[in-house]
Structure 1
Amino acid sequence: MIYYLCKYLALFLLKLFSSFRASGREHIPRHGPCFLVSNHSSYLDPVVLGCASPRRVYFVAKEELFRNPLAAFFLRQLGAFPLRRSEVDKEAVQTIFRLLREGKVVCFFPEGTRNEGTLLPFRKGALKLLLRGNVPIVVASIRGTYESFSRHRKFPRPFPIRVVFSPPFSPEGLTPETLEGEIRKRMEVAFHGS
């Protein structure tokens, strides 16, 4: 209940202040598990993806965000769960694969942290998870959240925000290197308006 209340309130605010648009929503499979991966340059990114997706999205989030009990409560209500980035977090990995077995959409940001407006190298652990999951991967490209609410801003400012979802693809037969290349290619195509 809290998830959908927050989603529609956020969607209203995004459309009001950011001329929010999403395209390619039909590329997210209607049923069954999939990974959703995206570039990451703002705390707005999970909100934007949750609003853009026609299905409920479960987010992998850094553990530090859960240290405040109130923030942790709302994050969990919104489908987020913590990941310890300094070690192999078996509990988070188990949660990811349980959600996939249940046919859910699991999202994470392979850069592992917010960037400064340009893509960072992907974390090897993230790429290995995508390969191990062996479920369809949908790449989401977000534009405008860095300009609206970068790590250097205390509050968001109005700026047009757009999300483009690419058609799903299978990671089968790919290596971590070729998988990263495929994800980057799809993000760049979307960034250039194709």
Structure 2
Amino acid sequence: MSDSTYRTVVAICYPAFWVSGRPVVIGRKNMPLTGPVILAPTHLSHYDVPLLMAETPRNIDFMSVVEFLSVPFVGRLFTEMNCFFLDRGRVDLKSVRTALDRLKKGRLVSMFPEGHIREFDDSIIHGRPFKPGIARLAYLSGAPVVPCVVLGGDRFKKPSAWLPLMRTRYGVSFGQPLSARAELPEREAVQDLVQRLGDAYPRLYKTLSAAMDRKQLGRTPG
């Protein structure tokens, strides 16, 4: 496992977002800079991943899906960037063991609790349900979960959004770390953490959306 490819990709790609983007980032200080952490972002766009890489102050080990392994160049690149792959067609204990091993080594592991890209109205930012696997992983590993909302990634679908100084707005909001309650039995602890995460996403969305609106009007978010 090596971080060099990840850092190289960030170094190459970040300037494109820097010259074209107008980011609003909230709560970056909520991300622990060391130790095991589970990052749990929303998933509204394919561009969520590069935006997270640009704005997260640590290297991220993403859990991706096995379908990418069959895509020429992409599967190898993702592997070199420390991604690991989930087979959604079965109970994939191997990916769970990999995630636990990465966390044991003090890594930042990112999983999309929604499981796939969702339509805006069906997102967890509106209180929609999500997979409990992320809460179970937190219970088994003892690692805190940082809920995260990413907005505006879909705007980069337009080629014009990449032009220098277009100031394409996007937003990333990192919530307070949430830990599974170890004193509870596993099932109760998982349900409790799912509930607290589910409550966090609408709050993060509301705050980030308001901050992005203020940015649009030329005022600095509070």
Provide the TM-score with structure 2 as the length reference.
Answer: 0.77
Which residue, out of 64, 86, 111, partners 1:61? 64
**Larger Rg computed on CA atoms:** 2
- Structure 1: gaps spanning 5 or more residues: 150-154
1:43 counterpart = 2:46: yes
1:186 counterpart = 2:200: yes
Closer/same/farther in 2, CA of residues 31 and 16 from structure 1, 3 Å limit: same
Which residue, out of 131, 138, 145, partners 1:137? 145
Q: Distance in 2 between matches of 1:161 and 1:107?
A: 19
Q: Distance in 2 between matches of 1:126 and 1:136?
A: 10
Q: Distance in 2 between matches of 1:2 and 1:193?
A: 34
How many angstroms does 1:94 deviate by? Answer: 1.3
> How big is each residue's C-alpha offset from its partner over 1:98-152, in whole Å with a ceiling of 9 and x where there is no partner?
1011000000001100001241521233332233222111111111113444xxx
Which residue, out of 92, 95, 100, partners 1:92? 95
In structure 1, the partner of 2:179 is 170
In the alignment, is the contact (CA less than 8 A) between 1:83 and 1:89 conserved in 2?
yes
How many angstroms does 1:157 deviate by? Answer: 5.8
How many angstroms does 1:81 deviate by? Answer: 1.1
Q: Distance in 2 between matches of 1:52 and 1:167?
A: 16
Closer/same/farther in 2, CA of residues 96 and 60 from structure 1, 3 Å limit: same
In the alignment, is the contact (CA less than 8 A) between 2:178 and 2:193 conserved in 1?
no
In structure 1, the partner of 2:218 is none
Q: Distance in 2 between matches of 1:72 and 1:115?
A: 23
Higher helix share: 2
Identical-pair percentage:
23
Closer/same/farther in 2, CA of residues 131 and 156 from structure 1, 3 Å limit: farther
In the alignment, is the contact (CA less than 8 A) between 1:8 and 1:51 conserved in 2?
no
Q: Distance in 2 between matches of 1:147 and 1:74?
A: 24
> How big is each residue's C-alpha offset from its partner over 1:9-36, in whole Å with a ceiling of 9 and x where there is no partner?
3222122223123232221112110111
How many angstroms does 1:61 deviate by? Answer: 0.4
Number of matched pairs: 189
Q: Distance in 1 between matches of 2:63 and 2:86?
A: 6
Report matched runs for 1:123-162 at 5 Å.
123-149=131-157, 158=161, 159-162=168-171
Q: Distance in 1 between matches of 2:144 and 2:18?
A: 29
In structure 2, the partner of 1:152 is none
